[in-house]
Structure 1
């Protein structure tokens, strides 16, 4: 089997109407395939059919007027984006998305809303999840811009779908160079476990502050070990790697000692 870093890349990004991926509609998208130094990039502008909130327009710059005047029919546009991803997976590409749990949840949720079956995911690499695991102690933000700066990757225009997608693809290349041990991993299962552990730790932090953890979603919308679909599963149901269990138990010991 071809090691995942040696597979061709397909970078993907969405700009949407909402921070909640299960409520968001797509405004713009990019699917870009990497063939060596050649990149074939395709972009979409969609009319989401609902007002674009001012706070999201402030992020990606797309207004209601622009989407209505120049955007594709939403159903047709969604179908083209979905098919581009499915075609990439069918050709053996690994799809790259920064914070894939957001973008792929949007694709799956919108597909269901429009009457399509659940999205059949192939291999995915998420530089956001990989970076947080491989360089845990680096201070500072973990936004796309900050992570690009940390690895010397160009981000031409943040929150523009094509720029974000291309940056994500180049980030994965840079991560594999910086951390060659990534090539030995079961990248799907490991990313799911890393994401679940981070969300579990975040929930524990919120609980320590006496805050509600209802909205902390530990799922990663991909298949985990053994092909198990973890799209709808909370963090507590995703198996912890032994290193995560050791760290968690050490934290629990310290908490008891401090009492």
Structure 2
């Protein structure tokens, strides 16, 4: 059976910002769906321990005041999110995450910050990830237009109910992965382990292409330094 017809584990974070090394988790969702079984959705609201910038609140709707009043301790949330993902990996269920390198890297840094065992240390090479963003850039390298979750849901005609809610985004990522498997035999016919390996190479090539574009575009040269090509997460540098 093709990977997209089995169980999928959607994962998404809403955060205080886009700096994977320094920003914090505000909400998280781990949603297991597909495979002919009922959908199981786990969600968390964390107190990140820092102020949530107005710009971030404008995206996901969570204020500093609400996070402090209703959020659970960050370390507790991070430990439980990590445990839910470990359960998926141990059940041979792929983690589906839109722009996985952001969410998985930020979760990794949060785990290290709060003394929680990181996902990669717990599951090692058993981790299997499906990233609709990487897959779409492989399927349609030269298609014009945006590549955000909202953009891709529109292009592939996938429902997205409540964008920038972690659970809605996690479910939408799974729907996208399923749709891409349904419509692209070259993806559907690849064993999951091989697909994971291929995405490592595709993500690297896509990052290198983006860096080359920035380098040759007047006014964008400074953005080259911010392009990372590692996938599905940026390795932690000891001492950082």
Q: Which TM class, normalised by the smaller chain length? A: 0.7 to 0.9
Counterpart in 2 of 1:225?
Answer: none
From 110, 134, 137, give the equivalent of 1:132. Answer: 137
**5+ long unaligned stretches in structure 2:** none
- Match status 1:195 vs 2:181: no
Q: How many residues align?
A: 225
Q: Verify the 8 A CA contact 2:138 2:202 in the aligned structure 1.
A: yes
1:1-259 to structure 2, matched below 5 A, reads 3-35=2-34, 36=36, 38-120=38-120, 122-185=127-190, 186-209=194-217, 211-212=221-222, 213-221=224-232, 231=235
Structure 1 residue runs without a partner (length 5+): 223-229, 234-259
Q: CA deviation at 1:141?
A: 0.9
Structure ID, larger Rg: 1
Runs of 4+ in 1 over 4 A off after TM superposition: none
**Structure ranking higher on relative contact order (CA contacts 8 Å, 6+ apart):** 2
In the superposition, the TM-score normalised over structure 2's length comes to: 0.88
Residues 137-146 or 11-20, more deviating: 137-146
CA distance in 2 between counterparts of 1:165 and 1:93 reads 14
Give TM-score, length-normalised by structure 1: 0.82
Tell me, in whole angstroms, the C-alpha distance in 2 between the residues paired with 1:114 and 1:146.
34
RMSD (Å) for aligned C-alpha atoms: 1.8
